[in-house]
Amino acid sequence: MQTRENTTKAQRVLSIAVVFILFAARGATARDVKIVANPEVKVDSISTSELKSVFLAERQSLRDGSHAEPVFQQGGPAHQAFLREYLGKSDGALQDYYGGLVFTGKASMPKSFRSDAEVVAYVARTRGAIGYVSPAASAEGVRILVVISEGGKSERMLITRVSPEYPETLRRLKIGGTVRLAVTISAQGRVEDVQLLGGNPILGESAVTAVRQWVYALGRSQTVVQVSVPFDPEH
């Protein structure tokens, strides 16, 4: 009897561990790739559905009307992470898909490169180009786009808010403004990542430090929200 109870407990612990590992892996996938765009692209973020449509040649423009050209990698960890997270296709299935589009005249074969550096160089000089690279790759000369999941459209209730420290020098000089941030929130409500989208970089550093301490309500999955943090030297 005791042995059966111990076995049941062990199975429960193992099941919980497996679920945790799978969830953690899913949450980490989005950080395995970075989306980069030509500087002339005016948007700071792109939805998962919009990104998928661009890279499957279903649309040739972004929501702001600007031209969009997908740029792929020829294998590697970033390529596999991108296919898995955003396209839901294997490399072979992607090749077959584009082969069909080319055969029917619906699209031409997209540009593809062997390395992060080649992708960044092409995206930097090509109007409307959008590609993906590994998180550690240099983003010099390109714009980084924050990917907003469809679930990220629903608001996450903020439970704990830490106010940013106003740099005293900027306050005395009456330098203020609004900092815009993209905040990645785990299903448990923890802030996992913060990216500066716009605003004074010194104020942005203070805002990022504060927002990393914020706590949100529980959610069904990891989400990304955009927040604005104002700095008013008169208050």
DSSP string, the chain: -HHHHHHHHHHHHHHHHHHHHHHHHHHHHGGG-EEEE-TT---SEEEHHHHHHHHTTS-SB-TTS-B-EEEEESSSHHHHHHIIIII---HHHHHHHHHHHHHTTS--PPEEESSHHHHHHHHHHSTTEEEEE-TTS--TTSEEEEEEPGGGGS---EEE-PPPPPPHHHHHTT--EEEEEEEEE-TTSBEEEEEEEES-HHHHHHHHHHHTT-EE---SS-EEEEEEEEE-TT-
- 158 or 97: which carries more pLDDT confidence? 97
What does the pLDDT read at residue 150? 58
Pairing of strands 215-216, 158-160: antiparallel
Query: Residue 31's pLDDT is what?
Result: 53
Q: What's the predicted TM-score (pTM) here?
A: 0.60
Q: What is the model's pLDDT at position 144? A: 85
* Whether residue 125 has pLDDT greater than 50: yes
Phi-psi region of 199 (alpha: psi -120 to 50; beta: other; left: phi over 0): left
pLDDT-derived band at 24 (thresholds 50, 70, 90) equals very low
Does residue 95 surpass a pLDDT of 90? yes
- The dihedral through the CA atoms of 40, 88, 33, 47 has a sign that is positive
Compute the distance between CA of residue 156 and CA of residue 223 in angstroms, rounded to an integer.
Answer: 8
**CATH classification number, 151-231, choose in 3.30.2420.10, 3.40.630.30, 3.30.70.1140, 1.10.150.120:** 3.30.2420.10
Closest CA to 61 of 73, 48, 50, 72: 50
Round the average pLDDT of the chain to a whole number and report it: 83
44 CB neighbour count, 10 Å cutoff: 18
Residue 78 has pLDDT above 90, yes or no: yes
| CA–CA gap between residue 232 and residue 166 (Å, rounded) | 9
- 219 pLDDT band (50/70/90 cuts)? confident
Supply the pLDDT for residue 13: 40
Domain boundaries, the chain: 30-148, 151-231
On the question of a common fold for 30-148 and 151-231, the answer reads: no
Confidence label for 202 from pLDDT (cuts 50, 70 and 90): very high
Distance CA 56, CA 72 (A): 11
Residue 149, pLDDT score: 67
Q: How far apart are CA 206 and CA 158, in angstroms?
A: 19
Region 216-226 average pLDDT? 83
Confidence of residue 85 (pLDDT cuts 50, 70, 90): confident
Q: Which residue has the tokens 């913060």?
A: 194
CA gap 207, 194 in Å, rounded: 10
Q: Render pLDDT for 133-177 as a digit per residue (tens, 0 to 9).
A: 998 888 899 988 878 765 544 567 889 989 999 999 999 999 998
Which fold is adopted by the domain 30-148? D-Maltodextrin-Binding Protein; domain 2 (3.40.190)
pLDDT, tens digit, 9 for 90 and up, residues 26-46: 333 345 788 999 999 888 778
* Mean pLDDT within 48-52: 90
Q: Quick one: pLDDT at residue 64?
A: 75
